Amino acid sequence: MASASAKGEGAQLTVLYITGWCRSGSTILGNVLNEVPGFFHVGELSFLWKNAYGNGSNTLCGCGQQLLECGIWNTVLTSDVPAGLTPRAHAAEVVLRQQAAVRTRHTLRVLDEAGDSHALQSHADFLARTYRTIARATGSTVLVDSGKFPSEAALLPRVEGIRPLYLHLVRDPRAVTHSWTKTKQYVVPMSAARSTAYWLGFNAASEEVTRRFPAQSLFLRYEDFIAAPDRAVDTVLDLAGVPRTQNPVKGRTVMLGKNHTVTGNPDRFRSGPTLLRGEDDAWKGELASGAKALTVALAWPLMAKYGYFRGARRAPIGGAAPGAEPRS
């Protein structure tokens, strides 16, 4: 979480948006970045207005309190309510606008400004106010939003008063399929076909965003993050213009404090000394052969592009996605 001396008002506000598909390590990476002075990991912010009033998967903040009872999120939920509406009614309107304008299927329309410009700009203005409220409440200058919606990432250039940065985080779809077979508290299982279809759609849409903004973007595979976590975090700090001396990872260990994440992997509730394991390949022995075959059959074009077949060239840590325009 941001240090008390960081200033959320008046300083340039950076929003580092993590995009890609779920079960790719965004929660742990975001919580690691949460320990960098001046950084604050909001979690999957887009779900705040749905989850807070019991319409989503869970109502807890990463600090363990109900979202409505957490001082930070209560401030956000009540600070921008139009006259004549209750916070609950306002939240319902936010969710309706999200569904109408910034679903993943809308990514290209948002990038090309071909959608309903009034709805998009209204949501961009709302995000500007929301991000600034969070910055004031937390004293942060860098907000890490692990929402993973490429359409929201595409909208960030319209959000006044922020510097948008993009981290396209990818994990082997076979590992993702395996992860979705597990029930974790409020997270329910998903079939191999459905998980892989989402993996393809979200990653293809994420590429469209980072291709448009190569100088503001990083590509990172989860496998490369856990293989060298300190190095991976260094590249993120480089993108944000933060000295590498602020990297909280020491070898493979990081001290995680309390966080205030909205939804995400249930492991977000853990704190204290945390070992970032170098191997996370249980899927190789546990995922059924049929599910493996189906995942590969559907995902092989992007799997090859991202270096997930033996002998394939991996994308460099912190580089552009294979085949994408280079960073300038």
- Residue-wise pLDDT tens digits, 195-238: 999 999 999 999 999 999 999 999 999 999 999 999 999 999 99
Query: Which residue, among 188, 178, 186, has the nearest Cα to 290 in the 3D structure?
Result: 178
* pLDDT on residue 320: 62
Biggest CA pair distance of the chain = 61
Question: For residues 141 and 40, what is the distance between their CA atoms, to the nearest angstrom?
Answer: 8
Q: 272-324: per-residue pLDDT in tens?
A: 999 998 777 889 999 999 999 999 999 999 999 999 997 555 555 656 665 55
pTM tops 0.75, yes or no:
yes
In the chain, where the domains are located: 13-172+217-279
End-to-end CA distance of the chain: 31
Answer yes or no: are the C-beta atoms of 40 and 143 closer than 8 Å: yes
What are the structure tokens assigned to 56, written together? 């989503």
Angle of helix 117-138 relative to helix 71-79, nearest 10 degrees? 140
Count of Cβ atoms closer than 10 Å to residue 32 Cβ: 26
pLDDT level of residue 6 (50, 70, 90 thresholds): very low
Is 65 or 266 the better-scoring residue by pLDDT? Answer: 65
* pLDDT on residue 10: 54
For residue 18, what are the β-bridge partners? 167
Helical ranges in the chain per DSSP H: 26-33, 48-51, 71-79, 87-101, 107-111, 117-138, 150-155, 173-180, 192-212, 222-227, 229-240, 283-286, 289-305
Portion of the chain with pLDDT greater than 70, in percent: 90
Buried b (16+ CB within 10 A) or exposed e, 242-256: beeeebbbeeeebeb
Distance of CA 181 to the CA centre of its chain: 21
pLDDT mean over 14-40: 97
Integer CA distances (angstroms), 176 to 109, 258, 302, in order: 28, 27, 14
Q: Which CATH class is domain 13-172+217-279?
A: alpha beta
* pLDDT on residue 219: 98
Question: For residues 12 and 263, what is the distance between their CA atoms, to the nearest angstrom?
Answer: 27
- The mean of the pLDDT values for the chain is 90
Is 138 or 9 the better-scoring residue by pLDDT? Answer: 138
pLDDT mean over 171-177: 96
* pLDDT on residue 317: 60
* Residue type, position 89, single letter: A
* 24-33, 84-93, 179-188, 316-325: the lowest-pLDDT one: 316-325
Residues in the chain: 328
pLDDT higher than threshold 50 for residue 3: no
- Return the percent helix, strand and coil in the chain, to nearest 5: 50, 15, 40
pLDDT higher than threshold 90 for residue 248: yes
Question: For residues 171 and 191, what is the distance between their CA atoms, to the nearest angstrom?
Answer: 17
* pLDDT on residue 278: 76
* pLDDT on residue 141: 97
